[in-house]
């Protein structure tokens, strides 16, 4: 049964779920967009606060969940990105003709799912966390469903995600058939006498299911269309919180389960990483749509992050923490600008690159934020992205994975081209182009402030990274 | 018991193949019902009578019948009689009927052989055991499932919402 400590550790998840219920009851009583946003933000902030309070407890194991420092970090990142998405969607949904409040309900449910996923220590919580993360996302992606692209994005994600889930479930069934356990410590114990063929097939299928969520190549085919079609705030959530949660659970099971430590499994993971970082960058080269480009760029970034999965030691956990934080801040910033430019909602998002031509001359600060985000994604020194990339390369060098290090270097060189192409577009003068623009008072609104804050963080982390580095050096997975 | 397990497993596979190759929604649903009942017999054979009974009552009983009704009701209109006659052709019901007969035969043979309380291996999981697990250590998962259903419901109600003018059209039209 649940003890007091268990309840305290579970408080952030419970708070987010309670906020979702409150929002639901509020919708049933009276529809108020601004109040709904306030309630959601209040709930997420309270959860974040409780996370800091109860993060002091140390490692807590409740039935089926484990709360260690990685869990706390993951939950914190999911809450921060949910908060950012809630503020972005406040501006975005202002112009939406249909019901607006349900979006926050879905957002809160998805956040709860992601938080459970980062703490998953049992295949049942892994599955339910992943589903609770994905199910609201279908609704969020198809939220502006009268726009064909949005509906297409939602349905595409629904069908392909269900296929990936089928793989995941079948893998879990095989793991259970081999070991007779569903909890991860039990699985590890069951494989102590040697990894059987069924367990090997099982972990392979589980890997497929999780790689789909991370859009690791060759499981990436859904990414560009879904990123392009979905409404801005939903895609922001998909690119940040959903990926962070899936990555943390993948890191946890790869670190724990011995089937991933064999030479062949290592080769397979390394090949996936190399393929993902190279192909992701190559595919992004000729994109004329910023959201698509950012989609491919996120594929490439998770290719870099796969290096941490391949190495999977203490330093790898620290590296993943740092890289995930830099990725989160940068991606939130980039998608935040795209969402602000498309706010308030008026048909398809302003994501084609030509909307951004000459942005600097109209909205200098917004263009500056996007510039910093692009430089950070490219990994230019004095931005957050550089620190992350530095750590990943250091990790690859230390583990003597020369192929992967070469892949990162080549991938970054290719990446530089398209990130800079976007940056140059911002400063080109082109009168008479069709334009969509952010509202004039964007900088005074919550979404604008969040974007500016993120840009400051990107630079601050690049110039003065030691507090974050110190914090990350304390990270460790429970039981390893 | 082994025979029941393998035979109903085979029936489930064949019926599910019928579901995915069928082009007509109602035909596929018929096959899906057979497949679910076959899975229920697999559960019985494995010594999980509670899961088996739930599979029959909830999936085959409530959800699938609801599906069939909805599909049939939505097809009401001019050509409904014609459509009904088409559905009653032997080609439609022969495969599901044959598969159901196999299942019935399996069930009768197993009952006649007199090993009713047995199963392939392990121990029988009673409804009480399932309940204490679900509302003991798995309580969290039950709550998560509730949140999952809420999210699914909200998604369906939002995306399924018709714009006001079109809703009025439909009311007038019927």
Q: What is the mean pLDDT of chain B?
A: 80
Looking at residue B167, what is its pLDDT?
47
**Residues of chain B contacting A146 with CB distance shorter than 8 Å:** 163
Query: Which chain A positions have a beta carbon within 8 Å of B48's beta carbon?
Result: none
* Contact residues, chain B, for A112 at CB < 8 Å: 144, 147
DSSP structural state of residue A348? S
Whether ipTM exceeds 0.95:
no
Q: What is the C-alpha to C-alpha distance for residues B52 and A384, in angstroms, rounded to an integer?
A: 55
Q: Please say whether the beta carbons of A319 and A408 come within 8 A.
A: no
pLDDT for residue B174 = 36
pLDDT, position B170:
46
DSSP helix/strand/coil, A217: coil
Q: How many CB atoms are located within 10 Å of the residue A229 CB? A: 28
Of B137, B150, B158, the CB nearest to A99: B158
Nearest CA in chain A to B122: A180
* Nearest Cβ partner for B147 among A65, A132, A142: A132
Q: Phi, psi at residue B135, to the nearest 5°?
A: -100, 15
pLDDT recorded at residue B73: 73
pLDDT for the residue A172: 95
Is the pLDDT reported for residue B119 higher than 80?
no
Q: Is B152 close to A135, i.e. CB distance below 8 A?
A: yes
**pLDDT per residue of chain A (480 residues) written in tens, 0 to 9:** 678 888 888 999 999 999 999 999 999 998 899 999 999 999 999 999 999 888 777 888 888 899 999 999 999 999 999 999 999 999 899 888 888 899 999 999 999 999 999 999 999 999 999 999 999 999 999 999 888 899 999 999 999 999 999 999 999 999 999 888 899 999 888 888 878 888 889 999 999 999 999 999 889 999 999 999 999 999 999 999 999 999 999 999 998 888 888 888 899 999 999 999 999 999 999 888 999 999 999 999 999 999 999 988 888 999 999 999 999 999 999 999 999 888 788 777 888 888 888 888 888 888 999 999 999 999 999 999 999 999 999 999 999 999 999 999 999 999 999 999 999 988 887 666 556 666 767 766 788 889 999 999 999 999 999 988 888 888 888 764
Q: Which of B145, B157, B159 sits opposite A145 (nearest CB)?
A: B159
Q: Are A245 and A78 in contact (CB under 8 A)?
A: yes
- Predicted local confidence at residue A443, as pLDDT: 66
Cross-chain residue pair B147–A64, CB shorter than 8 Å: no
Please indicate whether, in this complex, the C-beta atoms of B137 and A136 are within 8 angstroms of each other: no
Q: List the single residue in B141, B147, B163 with the smallest CB-CB distance to A109.
A: B147
Coil vs helix vs strand at B53: helix
Q: How many CB atoms lie within 10 A of CB B10?
A: 13
Contact B144 A129 (CB under 8 A): yes
Collapsing DSSP to helix, strand or coil, A66 comes out as strand
- Residues in B touching A17 (Cβ below 8 Å): 143, 147
User: Are A139 and B151 an interchain contact pair (Cβ–Cβ within 8 Å)?
Assistant: yes
Contact A62 B154 (CB under 8 A): no
Q: Which residue has the higher pLDDT, B114 or A126?
A: A126
**Of residues A182, A207, A188, the one with CA closest to residue A63:** A182
Closest C-alpha to A273, from A249, A238, A242, A308: A308
Q: Dump pLDDT digits (tens) for B27-85.
A: 788 888 899 999 998 988 888 888 889 999 998 888 887 887 777 777 666 676 777 77
Tokens 């430590």 belong to A261
Confidence (pTM): 0.91
Q: Considering CB atoms only, which of B139, B151, B159 is closest to A136?
A: B151
Q: Which helix (H) or strand (E) holds A189?
A: helix A184-190
Across the interface, of A1, A63, A142, the residue whose CB is closest to B159 is A142
A17 in B contact zone (CB under 8 Å):
yes
Distance of residue B171 Cα from the nearest chain A Cα, in angstroms: 20
φ, ψ at A229 (rounded to 5°) = -85, -35
Task: State how far residue A348 is from chain B, nearest Cα, in angstroms.
Answer: 17
Local confidence band at B173 (pLDDT 50, 70, 90 cut-offs)? very low
């Amino acid at each position: 049964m649940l003890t007091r400590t268990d309840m305290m550790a579970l408080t952030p998840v419970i708070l987010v779920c309670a906020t979702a219920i409150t929002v639901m009851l509020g919708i049933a009583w009276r529809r108020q967009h601004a109040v709904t946003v306030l309630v959601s933000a209040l709930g997420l902030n309270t959860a974040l606060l409780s996370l800091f309070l109860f993060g002091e407890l140390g490692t807590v194991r409740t039935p089926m969940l484990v709360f260690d420092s990685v869990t706390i970090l993951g939950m914190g990142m999911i809450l921060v990105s949910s908060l950012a998405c809630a503020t972005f969607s406040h501006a975005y949904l202002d112009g939406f003709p249909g019901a607006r409040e349900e979006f926050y309900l879905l957002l809160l449910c998805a956040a709860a799912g992601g938080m459970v996923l980062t703490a998953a220590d049992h295949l049942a919580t892994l599955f339910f966390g992943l589903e609770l993360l994905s199910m609201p996302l279908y609704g969020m992606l198809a939220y502006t469903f009268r726009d064909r692209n949005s509906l297409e994005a939602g349905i595409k994600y629904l069908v392909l995600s269900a296929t990936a889930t089928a793989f995941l479930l079948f893998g879990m069934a095989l793991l259970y058939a081999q070991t007779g356990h569903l909890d991860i410590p039990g699985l590890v114990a069951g494989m102590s006498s040697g990894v059987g063929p069924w367990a090997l097939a099982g972990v392979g299928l589980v890997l497929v299911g999780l790689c789909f969520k991370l859009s690791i190549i060759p499981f990436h085919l859904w990414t560009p269309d879904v990123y392009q079609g979905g409404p801005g705030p939903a895609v922001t959530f998909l690119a940040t919180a959903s990926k962070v949660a899936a990555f943390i659970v993948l890191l946890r099971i790869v670190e724990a389960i011995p089937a991933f430590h064999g030479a062949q499994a290592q080769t397979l993971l390394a090949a996936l990483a190399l393929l993902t970082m190279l192909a992701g960058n190559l595919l992004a080269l000729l994109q004329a749509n910023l959201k698509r480009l950012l989609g491919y760029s996120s594929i490439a970034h998770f290719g870099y992050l796969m290096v941490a999965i391949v190495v999977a030691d203490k330093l790898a956990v620290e590296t993943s923490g740092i890289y995930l934080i830099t990725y989160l801040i940068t991606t939130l910033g980039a998608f935040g600008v795209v969402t602000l430019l498309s706010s308030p909602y008026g048909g398809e998002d302003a994501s084609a690159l030509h909307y951004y031509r000459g942005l600097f001359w109209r909205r200098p600060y917004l263009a500056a934020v996007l510039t910093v985000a692009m430089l950070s994604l490219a990994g230019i020194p004095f931005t957050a992205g550089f620190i992350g990339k530095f750590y990943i390369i250091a990790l690859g060098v230390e583990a003597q994975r020369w192929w992967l290090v070469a892949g990162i270097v080549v991938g970054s060189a290719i990446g530089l081209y398209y990130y800079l192409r976007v940056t140059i577009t911002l400063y080109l003068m082109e009168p008479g182009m069709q334009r969509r623009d952010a509202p004039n008072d964007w900088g005074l609104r919550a979404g604008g402030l969040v974007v500016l804050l993120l840009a400051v963080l990107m630079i601050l982390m690049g110039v003065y990274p030691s507090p974050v580095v110190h914090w990350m050096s304390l990270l460790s997975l429970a039981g390893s | 018991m082994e025979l029941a397990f393998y035979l109903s497993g085979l029936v489930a596979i064949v019926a599910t193949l019928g579901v995915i190759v069928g082009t007509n929604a109602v035909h596929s649903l018929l096959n899906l019902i057979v497949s679910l009942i076959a899975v229920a017999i697999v559960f019985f054979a494995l010594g999980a009578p509670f899961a088996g009974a739930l599979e029959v009552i909830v999936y085959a009983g409530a959800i699938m019948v609801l599906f069939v009704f909805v599909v049939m009701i939505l097809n009401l209109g001019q050509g409904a009689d014609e459509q009904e006659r088409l559905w009653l052709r032997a080609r439609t019901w022969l495969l599901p009927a044959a598969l159901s007969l196999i299942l019935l035969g399996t069930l009768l043979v197993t009952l006649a052989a007199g090993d009713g309380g047995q199963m392939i291996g392990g121990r029988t999981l009673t409804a009480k055991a399932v309940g204490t697990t679900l509302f003991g250590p798995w309580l969290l998962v039950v709550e998560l499932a509730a949140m999952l259903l809420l999210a699914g419901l909200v998604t369906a109600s939002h995306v399924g919402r018709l714009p006001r003018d079109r809703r009025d059209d439909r009311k007038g039209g019927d």
